[in-house]
Amino acid sequence: MDNPLVIGAVIVIIIVVAMLAPRWIRRSAGSRGRRAGRRFEEDRVLEILEDLGATVVLHATPDSARSIVDDAVRRDPRRFTVLDDGSYGIRFLEPDDAVARLVGTPDGMRLQVERFGEHLGRPNTSAFWNVLRAAVLREAAARGIGTTVPDAPQLFDRVAGDSPIWVLVDPTS
């Protein structure tokens, strides 16, 4: 290895590798980070959809159920609103970022989310929905009204657009 040509070639190779390696490392690390971020975000969206798909069944007449939910909604006007059509708005930024409604079932009245929007690239109202469900359960217990929390969450479809929204999947279709 006393040949200066071999030593010079090795030095040139080391310099070229040293110049190209940082770019390759940055690209590789960046793509791995983006993939990990997408996986995390997908998992988080699934958790949010599961929360928003949870319902509460109130074993009460329609008027009693409406009274229970109305009282729970009116106690927290910064988060919840009774909308003009009788549904309930859950606020993230706007009063109707998510819309919940009471629906008649054979067991009573079911409180469910029917649609919700996205802000910052994902739905953001699941925490408020959990607060509303808990408040309705407390109010029903205080009035001696039986409740059921079904195990299976409801499903939603995403409707893409400028402001994507998620709508409840009709189980009969």
> What does the pLDDT look like over 150-161, one tens digit per residue?
888 888 888 877
pLDDT of the residue at 86: 86
Q: Are 143 and 59 in contact (CB under 8 A)?
A: no
pLDDT of the residue at 1: 53
CA distance 59 to 130: 19
Q: Hey, what CATH topology would domain 45-168 get?
A: TATA-Binding Protein (3.30.310)
pLDDT of the residue at 8: 80
Which amino acid appears at position 142 of this protein? A
Domain boundaries, the chain: 45-168
Low-confidence ranges of the chain (pLDDT < 50): 173
Q: Are 114 and 100 in contact (CB under 8 A)?
A: yes
This prediction has a pTM of 0.74
At 25 the three-state DSSP class reads helix
At 24 the three-state DSSP class reads helix
Q: Are 126 and 48 in contact (CB under 8 A)?
A: yes
pLDDT of the residue at 19: 77
